[in-house]
Every structure is written in C-alpha cells, then in structure tokens.
C-alpha cells in the first residue's frame, strides 16, 4: 500500500497548494510543529534509540515518539530499524537496497520504499521481539487516517497543510538522507559514500540527520553534529530528556572511547 499512499498524499498536497497557497500563520505553525515532533520521533526514537541503541528512552516517551513518527509518515519501527541496520551493514555495497550509487537517485529517494523486498525483521531486529513493537502495525492505519484527515476539524486549509502537504514535505526531507547524503564524489565503488549536507539541515529543522558522514563514521553515538557549528536539535532533545530522567545510557564520544 506504499505506492497508493504516496500517490494520495502527493495529489492531495498539489490540490492544497493550488487552493490554499497562503494558509495563515496559525495553520502553517501547526503544520511545522507536527512535522518537527514527527522528525524528533524519527531521529531520536527510530534512529538513535532503536536502530543504534545510542540512548535508552523511558517506555512512555518511546511510545509517544513512535506514535508521532508514524503520524509523520516514517512507517513502522520494526521495518524502519531493520532497513536502517541493513543499510549500515552494507553501506553502498551489494546489499545496500537504498544506495543511490548502486541504484540511482530516484530508486534511493523513493522507489525502494515500495519496490524492494521487505527486510528480515527476525534477523536484523532480534532485540525488538517484544509485544510493545508488534502492536504498531494494527495501529498504523488509524494513526495515518488521523494524520491525513485530522485537520478537517479546523477547516479546509488545515486539512491540506497539516495533512497532506506536511506529509509530503516530511517524506522528501527524510528521503534526501538516502538520495543526497550518499553522493560523495570520487568514492571507490562499493565504499561508503556518505557525506554531510549543510543545506539539508534547514529541511530537517536542524535535527541533525543531515550530518550523515559524521553518523557513518561513529554510528553508536547519540550526537550526530560534532560541535556547535553543526546544529543537532535531536541531541539537544536527548539531553533534555536525560535531565528530566526520561533518557538514560546516552552514548557520547568520551564514554565510547572509555568502553
């Protein structure tokens, strides 16, 4: 159902941009806020906490962030984590299903999401065998329905902007990590072509996913930006949760070196 979903949100977003090119600041702020918290769900929970175990989240915080990641169109935690672990195990090599070097831009950007084989969950996510991760497939359809239609309560402009337009924006922001952040020039065939892409940070609300070369160099760390010149709001969110007692076992450079 991935391809029909993509067609639906793109067609609806196009209609919304034609009918409501200027939605009003409150509606625009709502769309940005939902995209931002959804991005935090993906980068903090899916990516750093679940895929790499770079931080351990309070179970209620984790559940909330999974909800917002699904709400933002990032898919299910099990399939996201399995696909990402496969990517790291074979970065730009023969088994990397989302590599633009091997398969081209559009395959890496979108097509693999509905044309590639499903990842082997049992093989790549044995640490996520618990029931808490297996309830989400049943919850995904109503969450996506709420995400798509929920704005109707506030009017037609709110239906389009915090709905389909936000979903399309968030989709492509995430997909650029695959299609653009793996295009380092003069990389030997079969070698990791990951790179940092500064301009993509704005599209990610400076949550850190654009510092992709940093991440591939040290994937176990919770921080993706190396210093203040590389903004990483995802890491800032982790630090805040840690201070509130809602995140523990944060993997930092000094602790990784000590280990």
pLDDT tens digits along 233-259: 999 999 999 999 999 999 998 755 434
Residue 112, sorted as left (phi over 0), alpha (psi -120 to 50) or beta, turns out to be alpha
pLDDT tens digits along 184-213: 888 887 788 899 999 999 999 999 999 999
Task: Dig out the tokens for 211 from the structure.
Answer: 């510092």
Who wins on pLDDT, 92 or 58? 58
The Cβ-side half-sphere exposure at 189, using a 13 Å CA radius, reads: 3
CA-based diameter of the chain, in Å? Answer: 57
* CB 31, CB 162: distance < 8 Å: yes
* CB 23, CB 161: distance < 8 Å: yes
Q: Per DSSP, what are the bridge partners of residue 57?
A: 247
Q: What is the pTM of this model?
A: 0.93
pLDDT tens digits along 20-56: 999 999 999 999 999 999 999 999 999 999 999 999 9
pLDDT tens digits along 54-85: 999 999 999 999 999 999 999 999 999 999 99
Domain boundaries in the chain?
A: 2-258
């Amino acid at each position: 159902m991935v391809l029909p979903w993509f067609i639906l949100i793109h067609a609806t977003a196009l209609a919304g941009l034609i009918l409501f090119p200027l939605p009003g600041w409150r509606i625009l702020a709502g769309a940005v806020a939902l995209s931002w918290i959804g991005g935090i769900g993906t980068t903090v929970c899916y990516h750093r906490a679940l895929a790499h175990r770079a931080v351990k989240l309070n179970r209620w915080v984790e559940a909330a962030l999974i909800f917002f990641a699904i709400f933002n169109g990032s898919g299910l935690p099990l399939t996201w984590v399995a696909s990402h672990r496969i990517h790291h195990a074979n970065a730009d090599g023969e088994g990397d299903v989302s590599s633009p070097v091997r398969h081209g831009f559009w395959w890496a950007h979108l097509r693999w999401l509905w044309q590639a084989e499903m990842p082997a969950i049992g093989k790549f996510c044995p640490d996520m065998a618990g029931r808490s991760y297996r309830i989400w497939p049943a919850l995904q359809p109503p969450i996506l329905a709420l995400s798509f239609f929920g704005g109707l309560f506030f009017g037609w402009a709110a239906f389009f902007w915090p709905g389909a337009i936000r979903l399309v924006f968030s989709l492509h922001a995430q997909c650029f990590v695959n299609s653009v952040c793996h295009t380092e020039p003069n990389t030997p065939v079969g070698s990791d072509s990951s790179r940092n892409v500064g301009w993509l940070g704005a599209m990610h609300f400076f949550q850190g996913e654009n510092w992709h070369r940093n991440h591939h160099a040290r994937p176990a760390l919770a921080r993706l930006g190396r210093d203040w010149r590389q903004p990483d709001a995802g890491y800032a969110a982790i630090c805040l949760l840690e201070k509130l007692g809602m995140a523990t076992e944060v993997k930092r450079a000094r602790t990784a070196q000590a280990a």
